Amino acid sequence: MVTEDTRLRIGILGAARIAPAAIVQPAGRNPEVVITAVAARDRSRAELFARKHGIPRSYDSYQALIDAPDLDAVYIPLPNGLHGRWTRAAVQAGKHVLCEKPFTANADEAREIADLADASDRVVMEAFHYRYHPLVSAAEKIIASGELGTLLRVEAALCFPLPKFSDIRYDYDLAGGALMDAGCYAVHMARVLGGENPEVEAAQAKLRGVDIDRAMTAQLRFPSGHTGHIRCSMWSADVLRVGATVIGEHGRMRLINPVLPHLGHLLTVRSESGRRVRRFGNRPSYDYQLDAFASAVLRGEPVPTSPDDAVQTMTVIDAIYQSAGLPLRRPS
């Protein structure tokens, strides 16, 4: 039985825009979790965030929050280039970590953090919230059932408009780029639905500045022979495209809106058994994600978005950047 004294106590590194929906509100609906602190480099911003969301304490130093003895875990929604640094610091301070995607700036940094996590007894989890929604487990079961037949192709896309070019997601020094921000979802979906880690056959970027991709496409090939394609953008002719398609010898499956947490999720299947549509409830995917994180910390349950899984995703992302002729992202 979870009591006030046994709840998972989480601190937030950074008063980020994503934090209320991604963890503050889900924590309010989860009796096993409580948000007890927030840190920002600007103390007034941290204090304002804490007051607005009913968080007891605020800090003007990330390290001070990490070192707090009455915290069990930290949530890291910082810019991409800072993920590895502060995940490392949190694990070294004995904290469990829920880190926003992408896990690190590149695959080498992901391997370093994975090794550190493996050598500890801490839970370190990448926040691919969509992975914890029942939509994905339903899709996996359909693929495993053989209803679609031998896989032929997997396609995944996340495109949305972000015309504010001063946004940190366009900043190379903060490990920005469309592939890092939107594309990591498409890469991860392709990996999950394809069942393997693919090789990158070709990639093409559309640029915003010298080294920043505003859009990216990549052709993939999986070890078992099926092909793949990912598309992502923060500014392109694909104003809004969110979904994934799995094509097999005997059927086709579509995941409609798998990654937007608060909108309706649909799964459509067309096979020799006919056509059907499955609709899912409106419970946010962030809630399922926090459930999984709490269960991992409190009861030792495994999670699919582990550091080792993140290494595989970052390996594909690095290969796409290399194929597109762009430099790898680097830690800030």
Positions marked active-site: 101
Any idea what the Cα angle at residue 219 is, between residues 230 and 266, rounded to 5°?
30
Distance CA 243, CA 47 (A): 38
The H or E element that residue 126 is part of is strand 124-127
Q: Shortest CA distance to 101 belongs to which of 306, 321, 239?
A: 306
Distance CA 207, CA 195 (A): 31
Amino acid at residue number 266: L
Helix residue ranges, H only, 41-106: 43-53, 62-67, 83-92
C-alpha dist (Å) from residue 107 to 113, 143, 231, 232: 10, 28, 20, 20
Sign of CA dihedral 58, 299, 287, 258: positive
Residue 174 near residue 319 (C-beta atoms within 8 A): no
Distance CA 193, CA 154 (A): 7
DSSP SS3 for 18: coil
CA dihedral 116, 120, 121, 125 (to 10 degrees): -10
**199-207 β-sheet, strand order:** 199-207, 213-221, 227-233, 151-159, 241-248, 251-256, 266-271, 274-279
CA dihedral 8, 9, 15, 16 (to 10 degrees): -10
